[in-house]
Amino acid sequence: MSEDTVRVSGAIARARQHAVGDLLRRTALRYPDKLAIVAGERRVTFAEFDAAVNRCANNLAGQGLAKGDRLALLSHNSWQYGVLAFAAARLGVVLVPVNFMLGAEEIAYILTHCGAAGMVTEDTLAPTAEKAIVSAGLSGGVRGWISLSGTAPTGDWEDVDTWIDSGSDAAPDVLVADDDPLRLMYTSGTESRPKGVLLPSRSLISQYVSCAIDGGMSVDDVEIHSLPMYHCAQLDCFFSVDVYLGATSIILPGPDPATVLATIEREKVTKLFCPPTVWISLLRHPDFDGRDLSSLRKGYYGASPMPVEVLRELQRRLPQVRLWNFYGQTEMAPLATILQPHEQLPRAGSAGRASLNVETRVVDEFDRQLPPGEVGEIVHRSPHAALGYYRDDAKTDEAFRNGWFHSGDLGVFDEQGYLTVVDRKKDMIKTGGENVASREVEEALYRLDGVAEVAVFGVPHPHWIEAVTAVVVPKEGVELTRQQVDAHAREVLASFKRPKYVVFADALPKNPSGKILKKDLRARHAGLAEATG
C-alpha cells in the first residue's frame, strides 16, 4: 500500500468518524446554550459539558492513559460520572463501571481481570477501593476521587474536579473506530465470577438509535437519572441517549422516592426510568399525591415485568404518562425488545417485539427457529451486540454460535410476534433491578461450616419483584440458625445478593440424574413473602 493511499485512507477515516466521544461535541454545536445537566446546585450547558469533557480527557492523557487502557469507575451517580464516561470515550479509553455495592474482594477480581490502568472512586468508597487495589496487587496507575461528601480520601488519590476544571479544553486528537472497545461492563452470570462484556461505539450508538426511535425519546425531554449509572440501562438506554439527542439530564445520587417526586415537581421532569420496584416505592410514598407530577409524560421500566395491578394503578394515578417496557441484557448494549405504551395492558407481562435495529428469534437446542407457541432460547442478531467477553474466548464462542447472540433466557412468541420471557436458562435472579447469579450465592453459602447442600432461587415479592431465597440442608448432626447464615452472608456477599429468606430442609428435590429441581422449590416456596408479611 502506497504512502498516499495510507494518507487518504486515514483522512477518510477521520471524516467518517462517528464514535461515542463525538456525540456530545456535535450536540454542543447544535445546542451550545441548552441545559445539559442538573446535579445538585450545578447547572451545565452542553457547551460547558463539552469543554469539561475535553479538559478531563486531556488530563487523563497527561497522566499516561491512552487508547485501549482500562479505567475503572466506582461511584454513585454524579455529574463527574458523566464527564468521565465521555472523556474516556474521547480518548478511546475503555471505561469499566463498577457496582458500588460490591465488596473489596469482588472489586479486586474485576480490577485484576480487566487489567485496570487506573481507577476513579467516590470519596466515601475510597477505603473499599483501596482494599480492592491492594488485594488485586496493583500499584501505580491513575487514581482519582469524586467529591460527594467533601471528605478527601487518604493516599495517592487526585481530585477529579481538578481534572475537569483546569487545563486545555481543546479536543484530544485520537482516532476512535466504530469497533474499538469503549466500555467493559461486568455482568453477573451463572458462574461464580462475572463476565466482562466489551462494547464498542457501533454497538452503543446503534442501541441509542433504537432507544430513541422506538422509545419515543426527543430533544425536549427532561429526564431524571436516579438508578445507578454503573448499570448499562441508566447509562446507555437513557443518559447517553439524552446527550446524543440534546435532552436535559437531572442526575440524582439514588432513587429516593421523596427526592424523585420533589425533583419531578421542581424541574418539570417529563421522562423517568425505574425498575418496577422503584415505581412501586413512588406509588406508596406519602408525597405521591401531594406533588405536582403533571409534567411527567414518559415512563420506562425494565429488569422484570411490571405486575398487572401496578400497571393499572400507574395508569389510574398518572393517566398522562405513557409507559414502555425495555427488555435486553448487557451483551445487547442492552436493549433488545420493547413493549410499547398502547400494548401495556393488552400484552401485560410481555417483553414486546424486537426493537428497530434488532432481529429476535426463539430457537431449540439445535438453534432451529421455533414456531409461535413453542418455548426455546431467545437469540438476537443486531449491531447492538457486544464484541464478546473479555479474555474468555470459550464463552464468546458459545454465546455467539451460528451467528446469533444466545441470551440464555427462555421465551415464547405468540402468533402476533410478541415475546414473553418464561424462564431464565442461566438461573438469574432479578431483584430490585439488580442481577444476582444463584450459583455465586450458593458457592458463598457453601463456605459456611455445617452446610451440606444449598439451592438459591428467586421467589415473588411485592417490592423486590423477586427475593433471593436459599434452601439450606445442614450436615448431619449440625444445627444451623438463620442468624448464622445471615452473619456469614454479610461477610462474603454484597447486600443485594444476600438471601432475604432462608429455609432449612432435610433434603433438596432432585431428578434421577441428581440435578436439583429448582422449579419445584420455586413452586413450593412461592408464597414466602405473603406468609412472612
Same fold: 205-426 with 428-532:
no
What is the arrangement of strands in the sheet containing 501-504, beginning at the earlier edge strand?
Answer: 451-461, 465-474, 501-504
The whole-number mean pLDDT for each consecutive block of 10 residues of the chain, a chain of 533 residues, reads 81 93 98 98 98 98 98 98 98 97 94 97 96 91 92 90 97 97 83 86 98 98 96 96 98 96 98 90 94 98 83 95 97 98 94 98 97 95 98 97 95 95 74 83 88 90 94 92 96 94 92 70 92 75
Q: Are 499 and 489 in contact (CB under 8 A)?
A: yes
CA angle 428, 239, 142 (to 5 degrees): 85
Q: Are 304 and 279 in contact (CB under 8 A)?
A: no
| 450 vs 472: CA distance, rounded Å | 10
Pick the CATH number of 428-532 from 3.40.50.10140, 3.10.129.10, 3.30.300.30, 3.40.190.180: 3.30.300.30
Position 146, amino acid: I
Q: What's residue 209's pLDDT?
A: 98
In the numeric block, which cell numbers belong to residue 266?
421542581
Displacement of CA 392 from its chain's centroid (Å) = 21
Q: What's residue 243's pLDDT?
A: 98
| 232 vs 241: CA distance, rounded Å | 12
- Which architecture does CATH list for 18-176? 3-Layer(aba) Sandwich (3.40)
DSSP string, 4-54: HHHHHHHHHHHHH---HHHHHHHHHHH-TTSEEEEETTEEEEHHHHHHHHH
Place of cell 430513541: 212
> With respect to CATH, is domain 205-426 assigned 3.40.1440.60?
no
- Give the 3-state secondary structure of residue 272: strand
Q: What's residue 190's pLDDT?
A: 42
What is the arrangement of strands in the sheet containing 419-424, beginning at the earlier edge strand?
Answer: 359-363, 376-381, 405-413, 419-424
Taking the domains of the chain in order of start, what are their residue ranges?
Answer: 18-176, 205-426, 428-532
| 305 vs 458: CA distance, rounded Å | 14
- What pTM value is reported for the model? 0.85
| 310 vs 220: CA distance, rounded Å | 28
Secondary structure of 132-157 in HEC code, one letter for each residue: HHHHHCCCCCEEEEECCCCCCCCCCC
Helices 46-62 and 79-91 sit at what angle, rounded to 10 degrees? 60
Q: Are 360 and 348 in contact (CB under 8 A)?
A: no
